[in-house]
Amino acid sequence: MIAQLLNRKFLAKSIDRLKQAAAEEAALQAQGDPQANECAAASEIGAADLAEAEAFLRVSLEEEAQRQELPEDEVAFFPRDATASLAQSAMLEYYETRRQEMIETNAAQGAFGQEIYVTDRQLKGLTLRGDDHQGLFGAFEQTDVRWMACLVAMGIRRFRGRRVFNSDPAAPLTISNKARVVMVGDWGSGLPRARKIGAAMREVLQEAGAQGREQHVIHLGDVYYSGWQREYERHFLPYWPVKPGEEGRIASWSLNANHDMYSGGHGYYDHLLKDPRFARQQQSSFFSLENDYWQVLGLDTGYAEHALGGDQATWVNHRADAVPSKDLLLLSHHQMFSAYEGDGERLADKLRPVLDAGRVRAWFWGHEHRCACYEPQHQIEYPRLIGHGGVPVYASSAPVPAGVRYEYKGKFDTGLEEWAIFGFAVLDFDDRQIHVRYINENGEEHYRETLQGSVV
């Protein structure tokens, strides 16, 4: 990732210029301009696509202006807005593929404590000092912005033309009563510290291999900025802890999420899930893993954001009813409830039967970029948030909120800013118990607990 594209004010000015460029490019196409025709032929983007992109970019600017500004938005802005994320994706792809000479690596980013807190890459000649947030295109050729406007329009067309939801779940997979499941959320940024997480996860997999344990790795979703195929290739697959050729002995799974769907889910379904390492998922965004004591159901809350795409609710009910002797552990990207933000009600309503029946023993989710173990709520004994896998945020100094048993407050002690430390979870199944270790990007355990099954 590139530093300028992670600056909120800088990005806003760039989006404003992209909005203008989309209108200009549409007019040039209508006039038969040779460069406009070349761009249209290469990207398969016409005047109608550009007009739609202009409208989307305009709305994005208006909505972003109303959103609360966070301190880390100056250096680590990951918008929860499809259009803004698509603009980031388009600009990143353009510079990586057409203007590589404009990107430089700045080792000085890691000068404090030898740690690169966000990214060590930036565009030459564009600084981010004080309030001087120069628009991305002030110093570059007009051709740059025109090509990027076409790329944004292409991304918006994919977003609007979402891939058809696969309503068939992956076939249920029987796992060992002693299996190890490594779980990480919001990891797909490809940033240096996210790569450290990948390496730390690989270490616990190798440890399990030495113990003869069956192994699984689950991503709770979000590949940034907007789930383009190139982003899976650059930010996710090279650093995934299961290497090519190891899929026969280590299973990989990945949930769908909002950033995966910002480009219509095409990269998620048709590229990530086609990788041999994810073959057991059968290009489905929801799946079940079961042993003699536990039923683990992975849900898709990204296709219908904060809800359940297709008829997953019925599937959950059927799976739970089929094996009343097993405890239910749910996995999702989005939260059903939160002590930090909202938007969980629709998900709770969809799953009301199993929740009211007290069938959900544990639930792990991501989306919020922190780690928190809640007290029992909604008849769920073990609600757990582990969304701190790969998106930089400042460490919180706020008191632990009511209803939270444990919140990870790990932060770096060096540097000018207090960045929160990334992490993941390791679940070791042991018949009716699951022993959970929470491990940070340095491979250090910071919390452990045992989830006790309830069904006898």
**Tens-place pLDDT, residues 381-436:** 999 999 999 999 999 999 999 999 999 999 997 767 899 999 999 999 999 999 99
Domain ranges of the chain: 3-160, 173-452
The pLDDT of 52-75, averaged and rounded, is 94
pLDDT-derived band at 139, boundaries 50, 70, 90: very low
CA distance 101 to 247: 37
The structure tokens listed for 268 are: 């998620």
Burial (CB < 10 A; 0-12, 13-18, 19+), residue 44, is exposed
Higher-scoring residue by pLDDT: 426, 346: 426
Residue 25: closest CA among 141, 153, 160:
153
pLDDT recorded at residue 103:
93
pLDDT-derived band at 41, boundaries 50, 70, 90: confident
The pLDDT of 311-326, averaged and rounded, is 96
CB 412 within 8 A of CB 117: yes
Higher-scoring residue by pLDDT: 115, 289: 289
Q: Which residues pair with 341 in a beta bridge?
A: none
What Å distances lie between residue 30 and 27, 44, 89, 154, 305, CA to CA? Answer: 5, 15, 27, 18, 37
Question: pTM of the predicted model, to two decimals?
Answer: 0.96
pLDDT at 133 over 80: no
Going by the DSSP 8-state scheme, the letter that residue 420 receives in this structure is: B
Higher-scoring residue by pLDDT: 284, 140: 284
Q: What angle do CA 404, 408, 412 make, to 5 degrees?
A: 155
User: What amino acid is encoded at 266 in this protein?
Assistant: H
Maximum distance among all Cα pairs of the chain, rounded to whole angstroms: 75
What is the DSSP code string of 170-189?
PPPEE--TT-EEEEESS-BT
With the C-alpha atoms ordered 276, 278, 281, 285, is the resulting torsion angle positive or negative?
A: negative
Return the number of other C-beta atoms located less than 10 Å from residue 107's C-beta: 9
Ranges assigned E (strand) in 314-432:
327-332, 360-365, 371-374, 382-386, 404-407, 423-430
pLDDT recorded at residue 417:
80
The structure tokens listed for 218 are: 């689950």
pLDDT recorded at residue 39:
81
Average pLDDT, the chain: 93
pLDDT-derived band at 86, boundaries 50, 70, 90: very high
CA distance 62 to 58: 6
Residue 436: closest CA among 384, 398, 394, 368:
384
Distance, CA of 3 to chain centre: 19
CA distance 91 to 123: 11
pLDDT recorded at residue 342:
72
Q: What CATH architecture applies to the domain 173-452?
A: 4-Layer Sandwich (3.60)
pLDDT recorded at residue 110:
47
The pLDDT of 88-95, averaged and rounded, is 95
The pLDDT of 360-371, averaged and rounded, is 98
CA distance 333 to 299: 8
pLDDT recorded at residue 136:
53
Residue 233: closest CA among 435, 93, 99, 422:
93
The structure tokens listed for 235 are: 């930010």
The structure tokens listed for 82 are: 């499809």
pLDDT-derived band at 111, boundaries 50, 70, 90: very low
Torsion of CA 279, 170, 302, 391, to 10 degrees: -40
Q: 3-class DSSP state for residue 390?
A: coil
pLDDT recorded at residue 451:
98
Return the number of other C-beta atoms located less than 10 Å from residue 55's C-beta: 15
Residue 20: closest CA among 66, 65, 47, 53:
53
What Å distances lie between residue 285 and 282, 331, 338, CA to CA? Answer: 9, 12, 24
